[in-house]
Chain A
Amino acid sequence: MRIETVINHSREPRGRAAGDPSPHVPCVTSAVGGGPSGRFLSVAAAIVVATLWNGVAMDHAIWAEGLVKRFGDTVALDGVDLAVRGGTVLGLLGPNGAGKTTAVRVLATLLRPDAGRATVGGYDVVENAHQVRQLIGLTGQYASVDEQLTGSENLLLIGRLLGMPRSVAKQRARDLLAQFDLTDAAARAAKTYSGGMRRRLDLAASLVNRPPMLFLDEPTTGLDPRARTELWDLIRSMVADGVTVLLTTQYLDEADQLADEIVVIDRGRVIATGTPDELKAKAGVQTLVVRPADGSRVPVVTTVVSEIAQVTPEVNGHSVTASIGDPAILPAVVRRLDDAGVVVTELALRNASLNEVFLSLTGRPADETADAPQTTDATRSEGSRP
C-alpha cells in the first residue's frame, strides 16, 4: 500500500529548486517515472523500494517530498523536500516569508499540501492525520497558551484533552512546571507572564504527551538573549532524551547552535542542505582576522593582507579582517608580518558565519525580507504579535 503510494507519486511532475541537488528524492522511484511498460517497472521498482525500505537503516522520522502550497497567487511552498533522522535536530532556516511556517503547518497537519507528500513517524500527514497528531508536539511562532488560564490550568487542559485522568494530568502539569522553572508562577494567569515564561509554558504544553517529534516554529523570536539561551538549553535537553526536532528560525546562530542539519529555504524552495559546517564550507568563504599589538601598525597589516589576499581588508578598530578563499594565505601573511616586525595579539582564520553563507546562496543578506509579501509567515505575524 505504502509502496504503491510512493511509486504513484513519483509519476507526478514536481516543482524543484534550480541547482538544488535534491538529496531526498528516492532515486529508485524516479526510474519508473512515466515509462511505457509502467506496470512491470512498477512491480520491479516496488521490490527494490521494499528492499531499500528494510535494508537502509535510514529512519527519517519526519519526511517530506515535493511539498507545494499556494495561497491564492502566492506560492508559499514550491516543491520542498525534507528529511529528519530520528533523534536529530533539523533547522529550517530562511528569512521572513520564506515558507518555514507553512512547511511546519503542513507537517503538523494544520494545512493540506496542494501537492507532494509528507510523513511523520511513517504516518501520512493527510491520510493519517490523527495518528500524526498523536506523535507530535507543536510550539507555534507566538506562544499559543490561553492567557486567561493559569500556567497549571493550561497544562491540565492539554493533559485532559489527551485523555489523561485528572490526577495524572495534574501530576504531569506539576512536573512540567518544575522542569520549566514555572512552579512559582503556576497559579498565575498566563497573561501576567513575561515573554520568556510564556515560551517556556508553550513549550511545556507541547510536551505534555511526551511526543517523540517536536515542531518548534521560531521558538526564540522576540526573546531577550538570556531567555533565548535558557530555551536553547531546554531544547538540547529534550534532544538528549531522544526527541526529534524540526526547528524553524531566521537566526543563523540559532540554527548553528542547535541543528545537526540545516535546510535553507527561500521563497518556498530549498536552496541548500547540509550540516552547519558543510554549509559554511560550501560557501567557500573564510575570514582572516589580524590584530596588531601596536595600533599604529594597522596600515602595515592592511597593506600586507591586501597584497597577499588580493582583496581590500576591512578595518574595525585595531583589527583587520578579510574574506579569503585559500587557507594557504594565512602562513604567507604570518611570514610577511614577521619580516615586517609586526607583533600580533590576534591571528585567526574562522569559518564564515551563516549570515555570509546565506548571502552567498541568495545574493542578499538573511535579514532582508523577501520582496514577495508571502505566506502565513508574514500575514500571521502582523495579526497576532502581542
Chain B
Amino acid sequence: MTSTATTSGDRHPATPVPATKTLSPRVGPVEGIQQSLTLAWRTIVQVRHNPWELGDFSFQPIMFVLLFTFVYGGAIAGSWQDYLTFMLPGMIVMNMLFVTMYVGQGLNTDLTKGVFDRLRSLPIARWAPLAGRILADQVKQAWSIVLVLAVGMILGFRLGTNLAGLLGATVLLLVFALAFSWVSVLVGVVAKDPERVQIFGFTALFPVTFVSNVFVPTQTMPGWLQAFVKVNPVSILSDACRGLMLGEPWYTGAVTRPVLQSLLWALAIAVVFAPLSLWALKRKV
C-alpha cells in the first residue's frame, strides 16, 4: 500500500502527469487501410468457423435457383430453360441484397457483445471497423455471385454477351452492394439483437425483391403494381444485369439506361443512409 497521496492530511493538489512519451497523434491512411484489411480478415475467419453462415449465403441461393427453375419455371416461361435465362440475373441481385444483411448482423453482434467498444478503445482508425465489415462483405458478394452463376451455368445458363458484360454486371452489383450496406449498417445499429437484423432482412427485403421483375415479367402484373415494380431499384438493377449478361433479346431498351439508373439509385441510397447510419452509430456508442 504505497498510496497516501489523495487522502493524506496536508494535500497536494492532484495533478496529471505531464505527457512525456512521444506518441503518434493520428492514424495514417495506409495504417487505416491495413487495419480495415485485418478486420475484414477477421470476418472471413468467422465464416470459416461458422459453417451455418456459409450455408446461409451459399446453399440458400442454390436452393432458390433450383426451386424456381424446376418448380415454377415451366409454368411461368413455358420451359424451365427459358425461365432460367430470364431469372438468373435477377436471382443474383436478390441474393446480393440478402448477403448485405450480414454487415448489419455482424456489426450488431459486435455492438451487443462489447467487441465494438474494444475496437474503439484501440489506437486504430475510427472508420476501420466499418470499412473492414464492408470490405469483407464485398468478398462474400463476389463469392455468392460466382456461386449462383456457376450453378446457373451447370443447369444451362449461357452468357448472351461477352466476358466484359459479365465483368460489368459484377462491378455494378458490387457498387450497389456497397451502397446498400449502409441500409444494413443502420439496421444493425438500430436492431436490439442480431436475430432482429435477420428478421428485418426477411420482412423488408422479401416484399421488395418479390414485387419486382426478378421472377416474372412486369407486364403480367396489375397496373397499379407495375407502377411500383418499374421504379423498384431491384427491377432496374435486374434489368441492367440482364442487359449486361444476356444482351438485347431479353431487353427492350438500351443497356445503358438501367445501368445509369442503378448507379443513380446506389448513389441516392448511399447519400441518404450513410450519414443516417453514422449518426445512429454515434448516438448508440
Considering the chains assembled together, what is the distance between the CA atoms of A110 and B45 in angstroms? 27
Closest residue of A by beta carbon distance from B120 = A110
**Inter-subunit contact B123/A63 (CB<8 Å):** no
Among B31-39, B93-101, B272-280, the stretch that binds chain A is B31-39
Interface residues of A in 126-179 (CB under 8 A from B): 128, 130-131, 133-136, 138, 140-150, 153, 157-158, 160-163
Interface size on A, residues (CB 8 A): 67
Digitize B78-91: 1 where CB-to-A-CB distance is under 8 Å, 0 elsewhere: 00000000000000
Partner of A161, one of B5, B13, B38: B38
Partner of B124, one of A28, A128, A161: A161
Closest residue of B by beta carbon distance from A64 = B16
Digitize A19-33: 1 where CB-to-B-CB distance is under 8 Å, 0 elsewhere: 000011111110000
Partner of A123, one of B3, B19, B39, B114: B19
Most chain A Cβ neighbours within 10 Å, of B38, B41, B114: B114
**Inter-subunit contact A144/B117 (CB<8 Å):** yes
Residues of A within 8 A of B203 (CB): none
Partner of A273, one of B7, B21, B41: B7
Residue A39 CB within 8 A of the other chain: no
Residues of B within 8 A of A53 (CB): 15, 18
Residues of A within 8 A of B15 (CB): 26, 52-53, 56, 58, 60, 63
Interface residues of B in 224-280 (CB under 8 A from A): none
Residue B46 CB within 8 A of the other chain: yes
Considering the chains assembled together, what is the distance between the CA atoms of A135 and B13 in angstroms? 24
Interface residues of B in 9-58 (CB under 8 A from A): 11-21, 23-27, 31, 34-35, 38-39, 41-42, 45-46, 49-50
Residue A42 CB within 8 A of the other chain: no
How far does the Cβ of B54 sit from chain A's closest Cβ, in whole Å? 12
Considering the chains assembled together, what is the distance between the CA atoms of A108 and B119 in angstroms? 11
Residues of A within 8 A of B39 (CB): 157, 161
Residues of A within 8 A of B1 (CB): 260, 275
Interface SS, B side? loop
**Inter-subunit contact A23/B14 (CB<8 Å):** yes
How far does the Cβ of B165 sit from chain A's closest Cβ, in whole Å? 37
Residue A61 CB within 8 A of the other chain: yes
Residues of A within 8 A of B5 (CB): 58, 60, 83, 85, 261
Residue B220 CB within 8 A of the other chain: no
Residue B192 CB within 8 A of the other chain: yes
Considering the chains assembled together, what is the distance between the CA atoms of A383 and B191 in angstroms? 11
**Inter-subunit contact B112/A383 (CB<8 Å):** yes
Could you list some 23 contacts between A and B, CB below 8 A? A24-B14, A25-B14, A52-B15, A53-B18, A56-B13, A58-B14, A63-B16, A83-B6, A121-B17, A121-B19, A122-B17, A128-B19, A130-B27, A140-B114, A142-B114, A143-B114, A144-B113, A144-B117, A150-B49, A160-B38, A162-B122, A163-B34, A260-B1
